[in-house]
Amino acid sequence: MSPISNLGYMCIAASDLDAWEHFASAILGGICHRTADGGLLIRLDELEYRLQIFRSDDDDLAVAGWAVDSVRELEDFVTSLRVKGLAVHECSAQERDARMVECLYWCVDPDGLRHEFFTGARHATMARAFASRLLVGGGFETGRLGVGHYLQNARNPADTVAFYEQMLDLKVSDYIKEKDYLPGVDVEGTFIRARTGRHHSVAVTAMPTPKRVHHIMVQFKSLEDVGLCLDRCVDAGIPIEHSLGHHPNDRMTSFYARTPSGFSIECGWGAIVVDDRDWEIKTYSELSSWGHRMGAQSGL
């Protein structure tokens, strides 16, 4: 099994940081801080950030940050990647400071997405303990499971899945193959997990959208916070890309709202955690068992 514990953070290249700050704090229920260079850090738990937003016209996912538990495991992992022929680079002290981690390396996948491998993410002080003024049900489901997940639109899904499986040594949880998901468009998704068992930290597909990422996902600890977040989106006029619904594989109840960068964020609750001892890889025939309708105005 991969030494990667979880997807620790995601970095987003965004054109409108003010919109992201409002979206993250007043809609999602995170806590925002601006950095000295004008970037935006979004806290979801006791760490200094889980989402890092920097200014760019890309409006897309820029970095997937993978957490490894110790320096020794991280260095052994980097050595193993280089033996496999992957070009892995050590980050500078300045880059480590920007990510607020002790040890940091990076590489690029076959689709061009930057991946970072780190250990020693900085925790906020007790005086700045995470306390959302919006969330009622215990906050975000993060911790050992990491920040959440992303759905990557790969130009060559087979090569990208091979990168995750064969290079990073992550595990396939299951597959979904839905015929005519959109008129004339079949969708195939591969769902991939890290060691601590969030059902998937990344899913790979080839959706017909221009962005590298279809959506990112954050998970609440209570269904009430999903509902309240949906209400806040509707009240604020934020487009609901997919109404409330349920996925058959990770069994998450969620809705999808449009972020200020144009791609979606899945706001969910109730996803399973995989136990490797009795896990069976399945192939499902639908992305959603109910709901997740496109273009539903109220999200319900």
Give the binding range for Fe ion (CB under 5 A) out of 28-36, 99-107, 265-273, 284-292.
265-273
The residue within the footprint of Fe ion, chosen from 217, 218, 228, 238 (CB under 5 A), is: 217
For residues 38-64, one letter each, b for 16 or more C-beta atoms within 10 angstroms of the residue's C-beta and e for the rest, the string is ebbbbbbbbbbbbbbbbeeeebbbbbb
Could you tell me where the DSSP H helices lie in the chain? 17-22, 71-83, 93-99, 157-162, 223-236
Applying CB under 5 A, does 61 fall inside the site for Fe ion?
A: no
Q: How far is the CB of 192 from Fe ion (least distance, A)?
A: 12
Q: How far is the CB of 197 from Fe ion (least distance, A)?
A: 16
Comparing CB distances to Fe ion, the nearer of 74 and 202 is: 202
Q: How far is the CB of 202 from Fe ion (least distance, A)?
A: 10
Task: Report d(CA 150, CA 173) in Å as an integer.
Answer: 15
Applying CB under 5 A, does 241 fall inside the site for Fe ion?
A: no
The residue within the footprint of Fe ion, chosen from 146, 229, 266, 271 (CB under 5 A), is: 266
Q: Residue 188's beta-bridge partner residues? A: 177
Comparing CB distances to Fe ion, the nearer of 3 and 8 is: 8
Applying CB under 5 A, does 257 fall inside the site for Fe ion?
A: no
Applying CB under 5 A, does 63 fall inside the site for Fe ion?
A: no
Q: Residue 178's beta-bridge partner residues? A: 187
Sheet holding 31-34, edge to edge: 31-34, 40-43, 51-55, 4-14, 60-68, 114-119, 103-108, 89-90
Comparing CB distances to Fe ion, the nearer of 3 and 270 is: 270
Comparing CB distances to Fe ion, the nearer of 21 and 266 is: 266
How far does CA 197 lie from the centroid of its chain?
A: 14
Q: How far is the CB of 151 from Fe ion (least distance, A)?
A: 5
Comparing CB distances to Fe ion, the nearer of 192 and 217 is: 217
The answer for residues whose C-beta is within 8 angstroms of residue 205's C-beta and 6 or more apart is 151, 152, 153, 154, 157, 187, 188, 189, 190, 214
Q: How many residues bind Fe ion, per CB under 5 A?
A: 2
Residues in contact with Fe ion by the rule CB under 5 A: 217, 266
